[in-house]
Amino acid sequence: MKISTPAIYRFLLVAVLVALTVPRMTARGMFGDGLLYATMARNMSLGVGSFWKPALSTTSYIEFYEHPPLGLALQSLAFRAFGDHFAVERVYAVFVFGVHALLIAMIWRRLQRPELDWLPLLFWILPSIVTWAVVNNMLENTQAAATTAAVLVMLVAEEAPSRGRMAVWSLAAAGFTIAAVLIKGPVGFFPFAVPFLLLLTSRHDRARTTLIAVTLVAGVGAGAVALAAYGPARQALAEYVQLQLVPSLQGEREINGDPLATVRHLGLGVTARMAIVCGLFWLFGRRATGLRWTPATLFFGIALCASLPIAVSPKLAGHYFLPSVPFFALGFASLAAAPASRLLSPAPGWHRRIPALLGATLLVASIVVPVVHGSVEPRDEDMLRNLDLVGAQIPRGITIGSCRESADSWSLQSYVNRFFRVSLDPTGEPVNGLLLQDRGACQPPPECRVAVAGDRLVLFRCATTVGLVRRQQP
Contact at 8 Å (CB) between 135 and 24? yes
pLDDT at residue number 343: 75
Rounded Cα–Cα distance for residues 400 and 390 (Å): 12
Q: Are 136 and 24 in contact (CB under 8 A)?
A: no
CB 440 within 8 A of CB 462: no
- Nearest-angstrom CA–CA distance, 143 and 149: 10
Could you read off the pLDDT of 406-455 as tens digits, one per residue? 645 788 889 999 999 999 988 888 999 899 988 878 888 888 999 999 88
Could you count the other beta carbons within 10 Å of the beta carbon of residue 368?
11
With beta carbons less than 8 A apart as the criterion, state whether 139 and 71 touch.
yes
Q: What is the mean pLDDT of residues 304-315?
A: 86
Q: What is the pLDDT of residue 339?
A: 87
Model's pTM, two decimal places?
A: 0.90
Integer Cα distance of 42 and 48 in angstroms: 9
Alpha carbons 286 and 281: distance in angstroms, whole number: 8
pLDDT of residue 288: 58
287 pLDDT more than 90: no
Q: Pairing relation of β-strands 399-402 and 423-425?
A: parallel
Q: Running DSSP on this structure, what letter comes out for residue 461?
A: E
Distance CA 75, CA 79 (A): 7
Query: Contact 244/67 with Cβ under 8 angstroms?
Result: yes
Alpha helices per DSSP H over 231-321: 231-240, 246-249, 261-262, 273-284, 293-311
Q: How far apart are CA 177 and CA 146, in angstroms?
A: 7
Query: What does the alpha-carbon distance between residue 446 and residue 461 come to, in Å, rounded to a whole number?
Result: 11
Averaged confidence pLDDT in the chain: 87
**What is the DSSP code (8-state) at residue 241?**
I
pLDDT tens-digit series, residues 1-18: 567 778 888 999 999 999
Determine the pLDDT at residue 472.
Answer: 42
Positive/negative CA dihedral, 15, 19, 21, 27: positive
pLDDT tens, residue by residue, 465-474? 444 444 444 3
How far apart CA 78 and CA 156 sit, in angstroms, is 29
Is 389 exposed, middle or buried, given 0-12, 13-18 or 19+ CB atoms closer than 10 A? Answer: middle
Q: According to DSSP H, which parts of 32-85 are helical? A: 32-45, 70-82
Grade residue 156 by pLDDT with cuts at 50, 70 and 90. Answer: very high
Quick: pLDDT tens for 54-102: 999 888 889 999 999 999 999 999 999 999 998 999 999 999 999 999 9
Q: What's the pLDDT score for residue 311? A: 84
In this model, does residue 314 exceed pLDDT 90?
A: no
**How many angstroms from the chain centroid is the CA of residue 399?**
30
